């Protein structure tokens, strides 16, 4: 079976052959995949999924690659990117936006228009679909507070609308994360009108603080671990002496111990080893089970 040739014959959209995954993830790690497909629209996505599922070909949806860790041995499957699902409509205080739209770009755009509720998202470099999937958040708020409903493609290739209560949003998780065959196509976000000047002042203040406290100059995927109740993962990691600890090219940031950075030559395996070592040490010393926010892709 020539998977690439078959997919090209489907005429579903752009096909990138044998891509290096590290070029599509914020950690800048990961070997080759069979191909990346960027479907033109919903019908093309359905045709592609039918082919992949009928032929038992491994596949996954990838947003901006800001929360995933691939192995350098590669991904023996097809990666689907919803870059063309990037429509944006603003009707009153409702924002209807495609899954492929960048979250930080959207947050900045609506904030400048004087809508409040998305300030937390201006520093999150994921797509809207990825943010809904993992219930991305910061500053004690998340997508669950602002998403009214989501248009999804079901495992039976039906297009349905799921309301906020159906999405089962909890800290860094959602219905979509537990039901990976449901695919977010579009989200409706409801915001409230505020003072654009005050909103932008808050965003700029937080941006300045992020630059000072986070290693934004290195490839990473943001916070590695969820904060345990009443504590901070970064503080615990510092306490076990792991700030600055390296495995290969992966290093616990000197600036913020809950960030692992790629100092230039890290492999996906380096990052995983470091994460697992931290987890084991924290479990041994404090009997705390640190939960990883990022996803390991096999």
The question of whether 223 is a catalytic residue gets the answer yes
**Pairwise CA distance, residues 255 & 289, whole Å:** 23
Q: Of the listed 42, 119, 186, 293, which one is catalytic?
A: 293
The question of whether 212 is a catalytic residue gets the answer no
Q: Of the listed 66, 111, 220, 223, which one is catalytic?
A: 223
Buried b (16+ CB within 10 A) or exposed e, 215-231: bbebbbbbbbbebbeee
Residue 245, Cα to own-chain centre: how many angstroms?
Answer: 25
Q: Of the listed 40, 172, 238, 246, which one is catalytic?
A: 172
The question of whether 293 is a catalytic residue gets the answer yes
Q: Which residues contact 219 (CB under 8 A, 6 or more apart)?
A: 26, 27, 28, 29, 261, 262, 266
Q: Which residues contact 232 (CB under 8 A, 6 or more apart)?
A: 258
Are 47 and 9 in contact by the 8 Å Cβ rule? The answer is: no
* Secondary structure string (H, E, C) spanning 71-109: CCCCEEEEEECCCCCCCEEEECCEEEEECCCEHHHHHHH
> Which residues are designated catalytic?
172, 223, 293
């Amino acid at each position: 079976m020539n998977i690439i040739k078959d997919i090209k014959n489907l005429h579903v959209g752009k096909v990138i052959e044998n891509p290096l995954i590290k070029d599509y993830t914020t950690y800048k790690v990961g070997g080759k995949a069979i191909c990346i497909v960027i479907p033109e629209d919903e019908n093309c996505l359905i045709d592609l999924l039918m082919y992949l599922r009928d032929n038992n070909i491994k596949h996954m949806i990838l947003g901006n690659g800001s929360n995933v860790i691939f192995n350098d041995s590669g991904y023996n499957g097809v990666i689907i990117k919803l870059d063309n699902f990037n429509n944006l409509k603003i009707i009153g205080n409702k924002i209807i936006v495609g899954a492929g739209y960048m979250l930080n770009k959207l947050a900045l755009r609506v904030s400048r228009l004087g809508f409040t509720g998305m300030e937390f998202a201006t520093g999150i470099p994921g797509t809207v679909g990825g943010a809904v999937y993992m219930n991305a958040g910061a500053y004690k708020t998340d997508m669950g507070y602002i998403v009214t409903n989501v248009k999804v493609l079901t495992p039976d290739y039906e297009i349905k609308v799921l309301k906020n209560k159906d999405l089962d949003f909890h800290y860094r998780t959602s219905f979509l994360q537990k039901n990976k065959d449901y695919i977010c196509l579009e989200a409706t976000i409801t915001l409230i009108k505020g003072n654009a000047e005050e909103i932008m002042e808050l965003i700029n203040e937080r941006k300045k603080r992020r630059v000072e406290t986070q290693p934004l100059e290195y490839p990473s995927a943001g916070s590695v671990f969820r904060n345990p109740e009443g504590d901070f993962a970064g503080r615990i990691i510092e306490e076990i002496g792991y700030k600055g600890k390296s495995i290969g090219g992966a290093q616990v940031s000197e600036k913020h111990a809950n960030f692992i950075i790629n100092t230039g030559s890290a492999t996906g395996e380096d990052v995983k080893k470091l994460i697992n070592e931290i987890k084991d040490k924290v479990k041994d010393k404090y009997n705390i089970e640190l939960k990883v926010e990022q996803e390991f892709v096999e």
